[in-house]
Structure 1
Amino acid sequence: MTRYWGISLVFVFMSSLSLLHAQNHPDSSIQKHRVQSYQYMSLKLYAEAMKELEEAIAVAEQGNNDSLVIDMSITLAELMRISKDYDQGLDILAKLENTERYPRLHIRKLGRELALMFEKPKPPEEYQIDADRRRLEQVVLLAEQHDFKDQLASLKNELGYFVSRNESYSKGLPILFEAADLYLSLGDTQNYIGAMTHVLDDYIELKEIDKTDSLRAYLYPMVKDKDWYQLQVSLYYLFSKDLSLRNDSLGYLFWLSKSRKAEVLYETAVSSQQMAQYRVLHKTKKYQEQAVESAQVAKEKEVELQREEQRNLELTLYLSLLILVIAAVAFLLVRERRLKTQLNQTNVKLNETNQKYLDLVVESNHRIKNNLQMVISMLKYTSKDVNAQDSVALKKISSKIRTVSALHKHLYLEVHNEKVSIRKYFEEIVSLNREIVPGPFQLDLNVPDLEIESEALVYFGLILNEMLSNTFEHSLSKNKIIRIQISDANDGYLFEYSDSSDHGEQSQEGNGIQLIRNLVKRVGGSGFSLATDIGKYQFIFHV
């Protein structure tokens, strides 16, 4: 890419110095500079973008095109804000006169002026909160009078944020809701979520737990499958902040890791976008070069009498261009090397972030497993001092906890693996039940080595554990033979469990069976049935 870019620089330089004297139309020249400036801005080449905007403004001033002068001057001031040259940006806006003739541009100018004033660093004694709010409210009133809903939404969002941070969160909330409603009416979902993010932040500061939970459940589905990475970074960070203030360490770490992951995706997307803009810039210059070459051929035919003089001048130009090419190639090689260095640094950061995430997952599973083992030990110790009926209840609770603990044991041993073999998990559960069941039993386990996500697998473990408990509690057979089978069925899998014994009709609608029904629904199962006369359960599930 750098080689072609260097060639395009050569042709642009040739077109600017050749003796063709081609006169470009002012409007087309302005458009060319504007497009070039936007391309430079997307590549964060702010100095080059400022230069293109200044040239476009100069051409517009020569053509007495006041609206374009105002429009591009505001853009230039915004560029000064991005590059943190606040005084220069304010000077540019101060020089604009009679902007009231163009209401939309006038409101945009006032908005940018306030943004520069708010972001400009100043001593605490120079802050004038009341005066700043009055200025912002005046601009909001202008936007309302002219019914500029897009600008009104942006200004109300800014006003609500200003009031929340400088006066009180409760006063800022109604203004932020108005901004969000305006964005929603305009179909601007991204800015709507941005306004609602400010609302969420206010509710967190006000400690409105119910409302923060409601907003989290409402906003997360709107962004989770999108590529709005900047929004995701802010939103997920606020989720983690909210849960951290409530001492929910697992929730805090979960959302914090998602925020960091979104940040990495944003950096990757920006890099891809910049590369695309470099390609567009190259193609644009290529087309400009082709147009210049065509004009050169036509002009050469018109000034054929001056050909000899042109050849002498072109020879001089070629020598100058050779020097420029060498300089440009050297510059681009250095720039390419810097880009490669930055890319390598980004890859290192990505690997570090991923490793931190893996460490967090391993540590979480390890701590959960240890904590559950501690709970089991406490229950076992407690069961020594209770009656027989309470001891049975404690054993049932301990069995369920062992089921969950077994899953976290596999997750811990397999490090970062979101899926676990259902066969290994079932074998672990059966082994745990052999330790606590009073009598022996035979097991026929015919289960494929099917891997299932851990979130769903824990429910399968609870289902099996409850079925085993029902067998030992309700089965009337002395020789218990348990058969567990999972087989293919209709684009899914058929789960079958039987102990070949009569459980009695009273077990049909007991609490244990109702619990199994609910757990089957949790895993998306269907077609659940129980034959009490032979102790057979079955249902269909999908992975």
Structure 2
Amino acid sequence: MKFNFTYLRIFSSVILLFSAFLLASGQPKEDPKQLEKEISKAGNNTQKVELLIRLSDYYLTKEGEIKSDIDKANQLRQEAQKLSNSLDYKLGNGKLMLLDAQITREKGESKMAQKKTNEALSYAIKNNLSVLPDIYRELCAYEGYEEEDFRKKIKYLELAIPLYKKYKFFKKKGDALKDLGDYYSIIGENQKSLELLENAVNVYKSIGFKELQGVYTLISGNYGILQNSQLSLQYALLAEKTAEDVDDKSYQWCTIYNHLGLAYYDVLKYTQAFANFEKSLDIAIKHKNISDINVLTYNLASLYCQQKDYRNALRTLKRTEKTYPPTDEETKIRQLFMFTICYSLLKQPHKAEPYFNELLKKYKESDVGLYYKLNGIIIYLQNAGRVEETYAYLDKFREFAKKSNRLILYSQIELLAYQSDHASKKYESAIKHLKQHQVFRDSLFNMEKLKHSEALELQFETEKKDKNIKLLTHQRKLQEAKIQNERVIRYVFIGSLLALVLFLAILYNSFRIKKKKNKELELKRKQIDEQNEQLKKLLAEKEWLLKEIHHRVKNNLQIVISLLNTQSAYLDNEDALMAIQNSQHRMHAMSLIHQKLYQSDNLSMIDMSWYMYELINYIRECYSSENKIKFTVNAEKVFLDVAQAVPMGLIINEAVINTTKYAFPDDKKGEVTVSFKNTGNDDYELIISDNGVGLPAGFDMDATESLGMNLMRGLTDQLDGNFSIENNNGLKITIIFRKNTEIEAHEK
């Protein structure tokens, strides 16, 4: 069992999209700011009425359905109406009656809008106004989408077109011809549609109107239905190119991509068809146009079915089934039809059955979507093993085809009849139906192709005669100019040849010079690379040597500390022992710095927060003062070079050791605080304070011979800093100095 999905084009290509075409073929684009300026300058005359009508129409037809735009359009209409009444301007009154009806329709009040349009029609006929054809065109908006509705629309437009011609409204005439061609296509008179659309193109071109993509799309659709796939694709591509040339950014792209997909579908280029259908569907989803989403979903599903990929067809249908359910009856029927045939052709009648039952129910209710109902019912019955029941529906299908009088339907009926006879083993009858199906299909293609080829031949012969007349008229002038042209061409050729030789010589010389310079640059680059490698090696050796020096200095200091420790074992003098111990502490303070430097990647800078913490811990352990004295270190993460880190470490060592030894006599408990912080820019402050007994009364710092005090002052001078001491509820030593930034600047 099979179903020929190619024939579904006749139903899917004509549904998209009246709104897009109307947007593309409306009034010329207006500049609202310019109109407002002209209105402000105009006096209270008919010119101002016309300007107000144009500005109102701009807001009414502005893309998007924004209430404020409709309100603005109505406000401008009322202003124009008041002025027009005062001037007794009949044409203005007629235009404003039509505008009032259009605004009412845009608000969703269709019945009231239709009543106002009929009132405008009576007024225009009575006063013989040039707005009459616009009113006829507006009346089309109130008809439905059945065949008789489209025939009413056709009558309105056939009344409007001669009037547009009479009043020389050529742009509007082109728009009306295009819409009329669209309507004839929908009722199946495709050849008539093509004639009207070609007339529309001629009218548009005569006034220099370039936005012809909508017309080309409709022409493509007609050729597709007439099975002229090459011309269908040609015009679909022309529509795409035209839209790109005029920089079209409207919703009309949805229609263009859809027709491109259908055209590629007809020439069996399914990859391109899929791509264009998907692009069209994306636009429809972006604008939440439910009717178009359902049409494009149907087209994509049909394309999958054409390739017998029924599972992907079902996936496509389910993609929009819940999010964008169909709103009109025919689209609902078409969706039921696709689910029915997909599950049927997948040999899953139990899944197809609910859709079939719903389709059968709707078949009994009305004739809407009869084509889809009959096709779906027959295909389900064929695949469910109920072939005998199909013959009654085939008879109904033949009655439907007689009313529509389309060969494409007869071809489809014969294909379905062949499948039923073949399943019933009526082979002789099946062969007859298959042959008749082929005859109808060939007749459909050949008859329409013959008509179109005759029209093309006539057009070609006419153009050929016109061209021959022009050729004969200009033949003498061409012969006279021929010799002169040949001479000019000869001179131009010789001159061009010489210029080319000269250019090649210059190009070759430039190439040689450039090649030579490239060699020189390459040689210099190699030399620079070699020098860089040598510098890297020297830098690595320098870093290794610095680490080795710091390591050895630290080791030598440790050896000296050990020697002093050994020497102290042979001394009984308390002062000598104290001097050796103090020296050991000072050397350890310096040793810590060199230890940190050879262990880190930075060989020139020391982290003072780490260093102060380690040094205080060492002093606390040496004097076993954990329980007696509480040490607090508040140090910011500051990096100092060795020249400043060593004296600062020795200062902290001297101050803290002296505090530990003398500030808290008789096992008195206390607290020692060491802080180091930045005070602005590169200025830093070191404070060592305690809450001990402080200095004795009358202590003169300048007259003292204390080694520790003199050592701290001397080390402060090395830092180029200021040394101060405060004796108040304990001792507070403050040292302020500027950080040396030469090494950091050099590294940057």
Q: TM-score scaled by structure 1? A: 0.40
Q: Which has the higher contact order (CA 8 A, sep 6+)?
A: 1
* Bigger Rg, which one: 2
Q: TM-score scaled by structure 2? A: 0.29
